[in-house]
Amino acid sequence: MNDIVFIGDWIKDRVLGSGSFGIVVLWKHKNNEQKLAIKTCKWGDELTTKHRERWTKEVEMLQICNHPNIVATKELPPEFVTGLARANPSNLPILCMEYCSGGDLRQVLTRADACCGLKEIQVRKILNDIGNAMRFLHNNKITHRDLKPENIVMHVDDVVGLEQTPKKVTYKIIDLGYAKEIDSNSICASFVGTLQYLAPELFYSKSYSNSVDFWSLGLLAFEIICGTRPFLPFKAPVEWMPSVKKKTHDNICVYETFHGDISYSNEIFPENHISKPFKALIEEWLKIALEWDPKMRGRNTPSKVTFDIPSEEKGNTLGSNIIIFTLLEQILARKIIKIFSVTTISQVAYEINESTTILTLKTWINKDTNIPTENQILISPTSYTDIDNEELVMKYWNENSAVMLYVYNKNQIIDSSCAPNVPKAVQRCLEHHKDLYNYKNSQNLYRNAFYFVINQMDIYEALINGIFSRAESLKQESKQLLVKHNSVDKNLGQFLAKVEFFTKMTEEGKKHVEQLKESEVGTNLLGGFGKIFKEIDALLEKTQKIQNAWSQLSIRIQSAARRSNEGISTDMNSFVAKYNYQNVFSNAYKTFISHKKSEFYNGNREREKQCPDIVRVCYDVLKLRSKILQELQHQQFILKLKDLSIEFAKISDIITKATDNIEILSTDLSNSMDEFTSCVWSTISVVVRDADNMADLPYSVVSFQKRDFKIGESVSHHCIPVAHREEDTVKSLISESLNLRQNHTNLCEKLNSQKKMLQQTIFDFAFLNDTSQ
């Protein structure tokens, strides 16, 4: 087939893969972008009847398995039937499939950066796609029997969009050559599949069921999370099976210690890239998927002590149902919020639901970071706004984001005393740098060391992005404070306008009162006004103070806003250009790859040697981390963020207090205006009353002076109005009022006696008629 390059309008591009007896070639159409993956059998008459059946069965199954996560078949262009006749000596059906440009999953797992597993986003996507595909096959009574990373390919959608938009990747199962239709009453007796991914019963039992796929799916999940298989990956199946058989239901990992002892664990390896909540959930699922007993595997049976376990022949009975796919679906549906703590330079994550509030989230963060709840600032990297405690966390959840929120301490930008999380293998090599390592131990060391470098790079990237987000949030905060300031400033202006009006009114009142006092007219009527004027003067003094303070705050907030808008990108870029992990990563990568290509890796695995190159890498990582944190503390942009953070907190506090004080002063002003108005109108009421009603007026309201009294005139014309006071005001004037009352009574008695005397006196005018004169 190598000599066949052109078939009609199709051009041979390259060989995509070659198996035991099949070869897959990529063909491209010269007039368009159409691509096809065409699989042919490379053998002829030497094929057995079993091989021919397997090939035919794969073609038939792929044609009926119409599922987005199973590679699709295409209609074979007719020119290939004759064009590939020479390359198909077996005359078996030619399989034409869609082309998946991303390659297979094994190619991804063999990359250096995947030495300790893939990122959680990728892990979730793989488990979702492959889980759906396997569920589809099992629902259609098909057992794959050869599920492994080599049989999972990646279809990359060629979507035209923004360059920064990640392309959508779909994971698909290929190679159903070993697949077999099977139901609950049938068993298989053929020994197929890749040895390391085969379920234990395929080695020691004559029969098996579709639960063999559960085991393979569990191994796949473990490997994409940790970068290695869970059960003694450095041993052949015949070596690891006796040890794995001894594991309990809860054991999901069996490994060799540094000294060669066999250890059992209920957890996956800590060197991974997934969050703690997801890790805990997937560990429970792995206990079901990696159950040794095939009759219990994938089911909801709690442990091996359960009696009368139903077999495949009995079907699903109550208490022992297949839940592996449903449980995986439920786990992948859980929402986990991922947060980076800039202050403690650490990552935290929590499972949330529709009702989880920010305040609840802060209490969780407090337990893990020791940042007091009241001192926490949560910032979204999309909106750069400080999130309110009453908001729902779900609003900020994004399944495609590695960091969904940043958390800061109000009193501290970065705590440089926080220690890094160093893998145990790295700790050992740093403490005992001259130790000898065999093949297995060296593999673990190089993997964990390179993971440590990648992890520190990720943390550093998150730290820099967190600092930038804080700078952007301070810009937003300055805008919000300006809006808040302008709102309060408007209210203050309205208040000052009222004060100015009332001041003019009271100043005019003061002038009239002073004039009356100078002329000694009605001085006893003016006692109520004096207290009101004192209260008004005190209010004006407070108003002047808040006005002066507000003027200073306006200048202060304008200055802070200007500084926040200056930005720190230039300074940060300069710092990152000077301090970064690129050199360390490059050295670590070269060291890792060199080790994999070394004779020690490919040759005598029993030999031991020192590993000074990777020890040096580990030292360099820690040294660089320490240097970065020390330098950050003194960087101008960090000091600027710290000052602005404190300044904005103070300004916000001042604005809040000013708002409260303005409200209090407004209330006092309103009360004073009401009191002043009441006093004025009470005085006017006294002035216009008739003298006959004088006795009924409060004794504190009017005052008579003897020299001003004239018979025949209304007494009210000589009254000096005094404001009608409440009980608290009247008490201060009781003594004066009693004297006024007594004088008023005496005067009234004299007036009445003189009036009676005038009425009773009889004058004799008879002398006017005396004629004798």
pLDDT of residue 266: 96
Interhelix angle 569-578/439-518, nearest 10 degrees: 160
Residue 519's pLDDT band (boundaries 50, 70, 90)? low
Lowest mean pLDDT among 63-72, 317-326, 391-400: 317-326
Strands, E assignment, 313-385: 335-341, 346-352, 376-379
List all residues 6 or more positions away from 209 whose beta carbon is below 8 Å from its beta carbon. 143, 182, 184, 187, 188, 294, 312
CA 761 to chain CA mean position, Å: 106
d(CA 534, CA 529): 9
Residue 687's pLDDT band (boundaries 50, 70, 90)? low
Interhelix angle 324-333/120-139, nearest 10 degrees: 150
Joined together, the tokens standing for residue 506 give 């009271």
d(CA 177, CA 51): 9
308 Ramachandran zone, left/alpha/beta (phi>0; psi -120 to 50): left
The answer, yes or no, to whether residue 361 has pLDDT greater than 80, is yes
Q: Assign 545 to helix, strand or coil.
A: helix
Residue 741's pLDDT band (boundaries 50, 70, 90)? low
Tell me: the pLDDT tens digits for 366-383?
A: 999 999 999 999 999 998
Q: Which domains does the chain have, with CATH numbers?
A: 1-99 (3.30.200.20), 101-304+319-333 (1.10.510.10), 473-688 (1.20.1260), 689-760 (no CATH)
Tell me: the pLDDT tens digits for 558-585?
A: 898 898 888 788 889 999 999 999 999 9
Residues labelled as active-site residues? 146
Residue 736's pLDDT band (boundaries 50, 70, 90)? low
Residues in the chain: 773
pLDDT of residue 618: 95
pLDDT of residue 26: 92
Q: Is the pTM of this model over 0.75?
A: yes
The neighbour count for residue 397, using CB atoms within 10 Å, is 16
d(CA 618, CA 450): 9
Residue 470 belongs to what H/E stretch? helix 439-518
% pLDDT > 70, the chain: 79
